[in-house]
A and B are shown apart, each in its own frame.
Chain A
Amino acid sequence: MNVLEMQIMFQVKAEAINADFFDRMRPDSYDIVNYLNKSIDRYIRKKYLDLPTHSLRRASIMSNMDALKDMVENTNALVEDSITGFPHGASVIRVLLPTDMLSLISVYCTYTRSDVPPMASDILFTDFVSVEETKDIVATDANKPIFPRPVAAFENEFNLLLIGDAYTTEFSSVKLRYLRAPFNLSLTYAELEASDVGTDLLNIQAIIADNNYFRTFAKGNYYNDVPDAITFQAGDKVKKQIGYNTIVGTPYTAWKQKIGAPYGETDTPELPGHLHEEIVDLAVQIFMDEAKLKLVQKAQSA
């Protein structure tokens, strides 16, 4: 169901409850889309994330991956170079958390350790713990602790720490896999698709203005960092460069180039189709609750 179909269903359901919603108190499109977005947010938080601990939320996401996969992002983490004043010494790095993250699913990185067992640039998943739980792997003059896996711990709202034992020598290429906030439903969202697989996508300026971001749906090339072209993957966020209006898709014969703009918006909820009616019902419910409140206030003031 796309945003238009959801809007129609919303109106039908609202009118069925109270005929006033057909004319006198009829919500406009902007309001309805707003209620639908609220509904999607609330639905995801309540159904999948309303759990007391990170490990439970993570387990919930993983067991509902089929429904949530459209909102899963894989990204390279931004790493702060060095940290001082931390008990773990050099065996710790700080990475920045994405601002659109709802819940972290996993972290993996390129990991090197000198001994027991030695590892040279192996890619490993981290364990998740609290910073306090890592106290036993702090190296001191009397302790050279062994914990042969990297550990991730939330430092605060913005940062994640990757912590290693006494033999850890390097973390690099930290990747975050997380559940991001759902894209907003929008009536102005547009998509553009190439005519065939393995062909370029032309005239992207038709749907995206310069210096704004669009979302890719295929692997291709674009001038993300002029003058050097970059290869993007499906799902990436790419900035429209002034004067560059073509997505190069010729080398990627398995893909049909497609972009959506603006980035962060969509015309179809990212949850599976069978949940869309529930989302509309919840949106109507929110709308009705707020309408009731308005009616009560009106009655009191009359």
Chain B
Amino acid sequence: MTAEEMQYNFELKMGTLYSLKKPFISYDINQFLNESQDSLVEGHYSVRDGDRREHFEVDEKLRTELAELITNYNVQSTSFDTSNVALHANGAFVTVPTDFMYSLREECNIVYTDCNGNTASNTIRVKPITHDEYIMNVDNPFKKPYNELAWRMDYSSPTADTKRHELITDGDYSIQTYRLRYLRRPGRINILDGSDCELNVSLHEEIVNRAVRLAMATLPKTENVEQKTES
């Protein structure tokens, strides 16, 4: 469904398509559609069901619906920030893309010197940890990073709308490449410049439905009732 078709559907469901009294302009409808899209992506990414959290990769349907948003990002060590005063020991900042939303998989290519004194390389796991976990485990030889594991912590970025990942090693190996597979933020739907929804087509109708519910909630109650009566 194109952005224009979304507006058509939106107005059809609002009961304003064949009315010359239109409570919302395209700019407003953009806001409703984007809010709806964002909430839908958030909801599909993970849902808390009591104590349990369901992740989007739990079934084929959800995987397909968000597949368009899965993106790869590779950063070479030359782009790492290793001199920032905010860094922990053995840490390096990596700025993640502006459209980064949630990380799905992270790994690093490292080089290190093995027990025979030879240079070796390896692809290792990256474990996201909290600041509490860092403090608790940084001196724990059984949990701290080693040549099969790096830690990752979150940090802000000086640039608006971006964040940085702080990669922490054990100091004995060096990271060559940080490979991130992430769920990106979907592009903005824009009726005015014709930017269409990037999500899977099967979600478009639901985005419009949610947008209609959001819009209906903003109308004064009397108008809301009138709309329902007219439709």
Contacts and interface: CB of A to CB of B under 8 A. Distances in A.
B191 interface: yes
A143 B11 contact: no
A144 B4 contact: yes
A279 B11 CA distance: 51
A137 B24 CA distance: 11
B8 A142 contact: no
A146 B192 contact: no
B193 to A, nearest CB: 10
A133 B22 CA distance: 10
A124 interface: no
Interface stretch (B13-21, B34-42, B84-92): B13-21
Nearest to B192: A144
A145 B25 contact: yes
Contact of A115 (B4, B18, B21, B25): B4
Q: Provide the main secondary structure of the chain B interface.
A: loop
Nearest to A134: B20
Contact of A137 (B7, B22, B27): B22
B206 interface: no
B133 interface: no
A144 B17 CA distance: 13
A234 B191 CA distance: 49
A149 B25 contact: no
Given A133-B20, A136-B20, A142 B4 contact: no
Could you say which of A133, A140, A144, A147 has the most chain B C-beta atoms within 10 Å of its C-beta? A144
A148 interface: yes
A148 B17 CA distance: 8
A136 B4 CA distance: 17
A116 B18 contact: no
A74 B20 CA distance: 27
Contacts of A144: 4, 7, 26, 191-192
Interface residues of A, number: 21
Given A134-B20, A136-B20, A142 B26 contact: yes
Given A115-B4, A116-B7, A143 B27 contact: yes
Nearest to A141: B192
A169 to B, nearest CB: 14
Contacts of A140: 25
A171 B25 CA distance: 24
A173 B8 CA distance: 27
B54 interface: no
Interface string A140-179: 1111111111010000000000000001000000000000
Contacts of A147: 17-18, 20
A134 B20 CA distance: 6
B214 to A, nearest CB: 18
B199 to A, nearest CB: 20
Could you say which of A129, A137, A141, A145 has the most chain B C-beta atoms within 10 Å of its C-beta? A145
B5 interface: yes
B8 A145 contact: no
A140 B25 CA distance: 9
A147 to B, nearest CB: 7
Contacts of B4: 115-116, 144, 146, 167
21 contacts: A116-B4, A116-B7, A117-B8, A133-B20, A137-B20, A137-B22, A140-B25, A142-B27, A142-B192, A143-B25, A143-B27, A144-B4, A144-B191, A145-B25, A146-B7, A147-B17, A147-B18, A147-B20, A148-B17, A148-B18, A167-B4
Given A145-B22, A145-B25, 19 more contacts: A116-B4, A116-B7, A117-B8, A129-B20, A133-B20, A136-B22, A140-B25, A142-B25, A142-B27, A142-B192, A143-B25, A144-B26, A144-B191, A145-B26, A146-B4, A146-B17, A148-B17, A148-B18, A151-B20
Interface of A: 115-117, 127, 129, 133-134, 136-137, 140-149, 151, 167
The 9 closest A-B pairs by CB, nearest first: A143-B25, A142-B27, A136-B22, A116-B8, A144-B26, A116-B4, A143-B26, A133-B20, A115-B4
